[in-house]
Structure 1
Amino acid sequence: MSENAPRIVLFSGGTACRSTNIALSHRGASLTRIVPAWDSGGSSKVIRETFRMLPVGDIRQALMTMAHGEGKAGDVVKIFNARLSRALGQGEAAEEFRFFASGDHPLLQRMDAAQADTILHYLDLFGSAIPAGFDFGNGSVGNFILTGAYLAHDNDINAAILEFRRLLGINGHVWPSSIQPDVELSARLGSGHEVFGQHVVTSLDAEEAALGITDIALASRSVGMVRANPLILGAIARADAIVFGPGSFYSSILPHLLVQGVAQALASNTSAYRIFIGNILECAETRDTNLAGLVGVFEEHFRRATGTSAPFLTHILANRELFPFAKTVGRFRYLREGRIEALGGELGAQIILSEFEDAWNRGQHDGEEVASTILRII
């Protein structure tokens, strides 16, 4: 990687900005992904509850994406991306785990011996620490390895991530927004009712989604305040561009502004371009909203967090509306622009209106087009 490579920080969830991450890596950008520390569902939930640690699923996914973008998608990545059967408890999935942990899996046997030994060490630590009856169903082998590294490094997730990066041989960084183990996301709906847990916020039923989300909150169950991972503050300070999205707005993008120290660090880097990437589609969190409305909520939360009235974003990427009426992909409609151009004028932000949808994957971003646009801005 060139010393003059643009330094780009991506605030995202685990998967939504995958194509953009890969495209920017292909083009030699120096990337730092900042992912949520409050995932409360899936395989991460079982590990989080068992070890009282922060969720590792988004971290692992982002690291795998970084490896793929840097051309390092070899046997190590295949092992980290492996997932066990959905069978529960000590059945088929547990047998699969024991096969991986034994070192007999062909991917491990053809791997560099030092890499294989390290992975097996972490799997052994994980296997030794789990309680009887642990639910392996649909578990991610990479999550198990990352948890083993966490245990090996005295419950230091940053050290475990650095070890993961060494095993993968990648240059890009991935950090959780906070390293506290018990961060919980909540959302207040239009009715005043609150829902708790990221997995609940991302899967509101039709009746709840129709009420809309009026506010969100982050809290640590043990100390209340959610503090920033120190390593992300340095990345923000050095960034040439800071990018928000794409991703689930209320559960993966906006909550980062609620982590103590993040908004202040963002405000301090006055030279970086601050870019918001609008989603292609609505989701359960954002039914009946539009891009202008979401950007307005983002700016409001930034002002609230920093106590400043100055606009924050410098650029907004908006997918061009090709139909003058509502159109759906699967369950969700395309996200409308709203009064985005007028809002851009009010904020002093440049609106870049283009066709950012992937022609082969409806409802998803064309990573190459988004990456090209970001690099043109820089």
Structure 2
Amino acid sequence: MTAHSPAAPIKLPENLRGVAPAPLRATQPKVVALGGGHGLYGSLSALRHVTTDLTAVVTVADDGGSSGRLRQDFNVVPPGDLRMALSALCDDTDWGRTWRDVLQHRFNSETSESSQQLDEHALGNLLIVTLWQLLGDTVAGLDWVGALLNARGRVLPMSCTPLVIEGEARTVSETGEVQLRKIVGQANLARAKNIENVRITPDQAEATPQAVQSILDADWVILGPGSWYTSVLPHLLLPGIRNALLQTKAKIIVVMNLELSGKETAGLSAAEHLRILQKYVPEFRLNAVIADSDGMGSPAELEEVAHSLGGSVTWAQVRHGLEKNVHDPLKLGAAYEEVFRLHS
């Protein structure tokens, strides 16, 4: 990212680095959650009920909306998913909730005569980019926002280099000929079907050192839920993060989506979602899969694939009562605690 020298050095006070409220219990599992967007937000909203030793590692390939505009205009990693993760970890007080709402506030012009330059920008995205320009340090800027929220954990980008995700969409012509169409950009790939050959560029981008270390130091690593090709898989495509996942002694949990009919993975069962991870990283191993008992396809097939990856499936009712395709934070948190107990 482009650094701007501040008038005077700005350093986050030591007592505010990774600040967290009093522990929920005597011993805290050290948990790292990987993902992006609404899926990671849901996972963090659940995990904050389980531990305060929590780190989010966030994808940085978003190129749509407010994040895409700021990324293009200022040559920074897209701030939107980072903002959402920070909001999920806000302190559960009037202070924390108020600043969460400030971060999430999105501008909408009330007149068509305005320049509309702020339209659809989230204030939190602008605040994050401001801190990046003042500090010239991506991680420090996020730590400052976390301190403002009194966040229950830390948020890190998977890389401090803006990444591009691309792939190919498979189509069949009227004559039966299979054709592959190249698709570039997360926003475009998220709307595609029958995706193959997903990759990120630059393919040798450096992973954020603090993110790599957090994975190596963790007791548990959570992958998913989220858009499978654009939020979950990218962590296995970036060499530094992939190597950390293969080397860590942490136990790995994969959380299945509740909605399996999204465009990215339309028609694929939960077992086939796991096979995607296995296809791109054959050495990948896991300890547990959390899946809702409804809408996952064949339970036996999912259990078989999980077993081939070294793990088992924990079936749990984790759907929100009013929004069937949204994880309930308390139910998912209880499922995490059950897995921690079973695999400790």
Per the alignment, do residues 28 and 43 of structure 1 end up closer, same or farther by CA in structure 2, a change over 3 Å counting?
Answer: same
Q: 1:368 to 1:82 in 2, by over 3 A?
A: same
Matched, 1:317 2:290: yes
Aligned partner of 2:142 in structure 1 is: 161
Aligned partners of 2:77, 2:41: CA distance in 1, in Å? 22
Identity level (%): 23
Alignment correspondent of 1:126: none
Contact 1:70/1:170, CA 8 A, preserved across alignment: no
Q: Which residue of 1 aligns with 2:326?
A: 364
Aligned pairs for 1:325-364 (under 5 A) are 334-337=295-298, 339-364=301-326
Summarize the Cα distance change of 1:194–1:16 in structure 2 as closer, same or farther, 3 Å threshold. same
TM-score (norm 1): 0.76
What's the secondary structure of 1:146's corresponding residue?
A: helix
Consecutive unaligned residues in structure 1, runs of 5 or more: 94-134, 322-333
Counterpart mapping for 1:259-270 below 5 A: 259-270=238-249
Question: 1:85, 1:92 within 8 Å by CA — same for their partners in 2?
Answer: no
Amino acid of the structure 2 residue aligned with 1:231: Q
From the superposition, tell whether residues 88 and 49 of structure 1 become closer, same or farther in structure 2 (CA, over 3 Å).
Answer: farther
Q: Counterpart in 1 of 2:9?
A: none
Query: Map of 1:86-125 to 2, 5 A cutoff?
Result: 86=109, 91=114, 93=116
Aligned partner of 1:53 in structure 2 is 76
**Which sections of structure 2, spanning at least 5 residues, go unmatched?**
1-21, 171-178
**1:38 and 1:198 in contact (8 A); partners too:** yes
Query: Matched residues in 1 for 2:310 and 2:104: separation?
Result: 43
Indicate whether 1:185 and 2:165 are aligned: yes
> Which residue type is aligned with residue 314 of structure 2?
I
Q: Is the 8 A contact 2:28 2:53 kept in 1?
A: yes
Residues 216 and 72 from structure 1, CA distance in 2 versus in 1: closer, same or farther, beyond 3 angstroms? farther
The Cα shift of 1:73 comes to 2.8
For 2:19, the equivalent position in structure 1 comes to none
- Evaluate the alpha carbon distance shift between residue 367 and residue 337 of structure 1 in structure 2; reply closer, same or farther with a 3 A threshold: farther
Name segments (4+ residues, structure 1) moved above 4 Å: 68-72, 86-90
Q: How does 1:276-291 map to 2 (within 5 A)?
A: 276-282=254-260, 283-291=262-270
- CA RMSD after TM alignment: 2.1
Cα distance, 1:71 vs structure 2: 7.2
Q: 1:89–1:158: structure 2 CA closer, same or farther, 3 Å change rule?
A: farther
- State the TM-score, normalizing by the size of structure 2: 0.83
Corresponding letter in the other structure for 1:336 = G
Q: Aligned-pair distance for 1:72?
A: 4.9
The count of corresponding residues between Structure 1 and Structure 2 is 307
**CA offset at residue 240 of structure 1?**
0.9
Provide the C-alpha distance between the structure 1 equivalents of 2:64 and 2:320, rounded to a whole number of angstroms: 28
| SS class of match (1:358) | coil
